[in-house]
Structure 1
Amino acid sequence: MKSKSLTFLKYTFLIICSFISIFPFYWMIAGATNTSNQIAEGKLSLGTHFLKNLSALLGAYNIPLIMWNSLKISLVTVVLSLLVTSMAAFGFEKFNTRRSELIYSILLLFMMIPFATLVIPLFKMMAGLNLVNQHLALILPYISNIFLIFFFRQSFKSFPDDIMDSGKIEGAGNYTIFFKLVFPMMKSTYAAAAIYAFMNSWNSYLLPLIILQTEDKYTMTLLISGLSSASYVANYGVQMMAIVIATLPTLILFLMMQKSFVAGMTGSLKA
C-alpha cells in the first residue's frame, strides 16, 4: 500500500511538471490562432484566425528570406564550430602538455565573462574587417565555443587510447585517426553538440541587433523583437505566429536527434 502511494505521488509530480513545461508551448500555438484582443483577454482555447495571422505576417515581412538568413547562419555556425571545437578538445585531451593545460584553464576562465561585455569589442572588430551588416560577422564569434570545447573534451576522456594506438600501428596519421576512428564512434556526442550550437546561434539576439542594419539581413530573433515595437498597438496574434515559425526548426531538429542527444549527454560511445 505504501509503495502504491509513493508511486502515485511520483506520477502526480511528473504530470504536474510536464504540464508546466508544455503549457507555454500550447499557449503559443493557441495564441497564433486567436486575435490580439482574445489573447489579451486570456483565451486559452484554439481559435479561427490562424490563416489571418499567417497572411498578415507574410504580407508585412519576407519570412522565407528571414528564415533562410537564420538557417544559413545557424547551419554554417554548427558545422564550423563542431569541427573547430572537437579538434581542439581532442588535442587538449589526447596530446596534453603543461602549456596546453594552462591554455585550457584560461579558456575555462573566459566562460565566466558575460557575453554582453564582449559586444562592443566584437562590433569594433567586425567594423575593422568591413563585416558590419554581414552574416559572416555573426558566424565567426560563435565558431570557437568554449563550452563545446569543454563538452567534447569530457566526452573524449572516455575514448579508448587503444583504438588510437591501433590506428597508429596501421600507419594512420592523427587526422586520419580523428576523422575515420574518433568521429564515427562519437556521433551521439556530435549530435548533442550540434543541437546546442544550433540553438545558441538560432536564438542569438544581442549581436545581430548591433551588426545587422537592413531588413534583408534580419534573422528571426530580430523580426520577433521588431514586431513588438512595429506599431503603437501590439498584434499579439501575429507575434505568436512568428514565434511558432521560429520555433519549428529547433523543434524538428530535436525530434530528429533526441535519441542521439540523450546518448551524447551521457557520453556514450557508438561503434
Structure 2
Amino acid sequence: MVQRRLIPTYIFLIICSLISVFPLYWMIAAATNTSLNVARGSIAFGNQLLINFEHLRNAVQGTLWSSLGNSFLYATVQTIFTLFICSLAGYGFELYHDKHKDRLFGIILLAMMVPAVATMVPLFVLISKVKLLNSVWAFILPGISTPFMIMMFRQNSRNFPPDIMEAARIDGLPEWKIFFKMYMPVQKSIYAAAGVISFMNAWNAYLWPKVVMTDNRAQTMPMFIANITSGYTVDYGMTMLGVLFCSLPTMIIFFILQKQFAEGITGSVK
C-alpha cells in the first residue's frame, strides 16, 4: 500500500529528471548532426560527429586546444587562490575575536550589492596601467576574493570545534599550523563545494575575459564559442560540438565531487 502511494511521486520525479536531462541530450545529439538537421529540430543522433570535429578544428585553426588550455589554467589558478584567501578570511572572521570584525564583515557584504559592470571600467584601467592585460593575473585578480565565498567559509567555520584550537595551542602548535593541519582537513567538504563553485564561475566567465584578453592566443572557451558563431552563417552542429567541449570539464568535476559538494553546501563537518 505504501509503495502504491509513492507511484505518483516517482512518476513526477522521473518526468522532472527527463526534463532536466533533455537539454544535455539534445546538445550531444546536435553535435552529431548537420546544421540543417539541427535547425529542423532533429533530436536523433546523426553521423556527423567526426566531420563536425574536422570542420571545427579547421575553422578555428588550432585555437580550440589553446582555448581549452587557457580556460583550464585560468580556472585552476583562480580556484586555488580563491579557496586559500577566502577560507583564511572566513576562518579569521569566525574563530578570532575582535569587537570590530562584525562591522568589517558587514562592509564586505555590502560589496555584494555593487554590480560587477560598475567596477569593470576602473578595473580595466588598473589592469592596463600595471601591464597585466592578456595574462592569467588579469583574469583572476578581480575574482580571487569574493564576499559570497568569505561568507560561505565563515558560516561553515561555525561547525569547527573550538576545543581543537585550544588543545593545539596548549600543545604549542603555531596558528598557521592550526589552519593548515587541523582546519583544512576538517573542512574538506566545504573546500570541495567552494572549489566546484569557483571553478565553474571561472570556466564560464565571458564578459571580464572579453575585456582584458585582447589577444586571441589568450582567449577562453566561452570566447572561443562566441567567435565561431560570429560569422554570416552559423553551423549549428559545429557550434554544439564546441559547446559540448566547453561543458564537459565542469560536468566531470561536478560528478566527481558531488557528494562533497552536497556536504559542503549543507554545512556538515566530519
Where on the TM-score scale, by shorter chain, does this alignment land: which range?
over 0.9
Per-residue Cα deviation, 1:100-125 (whole angstroms, up to 9, x for no partner): 11111111111122212221121111
The aligned residue for residue 37 of structure 2 is 38
Q: Aligned letter for 2:216?
A: E
For the residue of structure 2 that corresponds to 1:87, the secondary structure is helix
Does residue 26 of the first structure (1) align with residue 22 of the second (2)? Answer: no
Q: Which moved more, 1:55-64 or 1:219-228?
A: 55-64
For the residue of structure 2 that corresponds to 1:98, the secondary structure is coil
Q: Deviation at 1:4?
A: 4.5
Does residue 9 of the first structure (1) align with residue 5 of the second (2)? Answer: no
CA RMSD of aligned residues (A): 1.2
Q: Which moved more, 1:93-102 or 1:244-253?
A: 93-102
The aligned residue for residue 223 of structure 2 is 222
The aligned residue for residue 60 of structure 1 is 59
Runs of 4+ in 1 over 4 A off after TM superposition: none
Q: Deviation at 1:60?
A: 2.2
Q: Deviation at 1:6?
A: 3.7
Count, aligned residues: 268
Does residue 96 of the first structure (1) align with residue 97 of the second (2)? Answer: yes
The aligned residue for residue 127 of structure 2 is 126
In 2: Cα distance, 1:146 partner to 1:246 partner: 27
Q: Is the 8 A contact 2:32 2:47 kept in 1?
A: yes
Q: Deviation at 1:5?
A: 5.0
Does residue 253 of the first structure (1) align with residue 253 of the second (2)? Answer: yes
Q: Is the 8 A contact 2:159 2:267 kept in 1?
A: yes
In 1: Cα distance, 2:50 partner to 2:97 partner: 58
In 2: Cα distance, 1:108 partner to 1:19 partner: 38
The aligned residue for residue 49 of structure 2 is 50
For the residue of structure 2 that corresponds to 1:60, the secondary structure is helix
Q: Aligned letter for 1:173?
A: P
In 1: Cα distance, 2:120 partner to 2:15 partner: 40
The alignment-based identity, stated in percent, is 40
In 1: Cα distance, 2:6 partner to 2:142 partner: 48
In 1: Cα distance, 2:84 partner to 2:144 partner: 9
Q: Deviation at 1:98?
A: 2.5
Unaligned runs of 5+ in 1: none
Q: Deviation at 1:135?
A: 2.5
In 1: Cα distance, 2:25 partner to 2:116 partner: 31
Does residue 263 of the first structure (1) align with residue 263 of the second (2)? Answer: yes
Q: Is the 8 A contact 2:82 2:145 kept in 1?
A: yes
Q: Is the 8 A contact 2:32 2:237 kept in 1?
A: yes
Per-residue Cα deviation, 1:73-95 (whole angstroms, up to 9, x for no partner): 00000101100000000000011
Q: Aligned letter for 2:198?
A: A
Does residue 87 of the first structure (1) align with residue 79 of the second (2)? Answer: no
Q: Is the 8 A contact 2:64 2:224 kept in 1?
A: no
In 1: Cα distance, 2:149 partner to 2:26 partner: 33
For the residue of structure 1 that corresponds to 2:21, the secondary structure is helix
In 1: Cα distance, 2:97 partner to 2:241 partner: 50
Q: Which moved more, 1:43-52 or 1:255-264?
A: 255-264
The aligned residue for residue 108 of structure 2 is 107
Q: Deviation at 1:17?
A: 1.2
Q: Aligned letter for 2:107?
A: I
Q: Deviation at 1:149?
A: 0.5
Per-residue Cα deviation, 1:19-47 (whole angstroms, up to 9, x for no partner): 11101111100010001110000000111
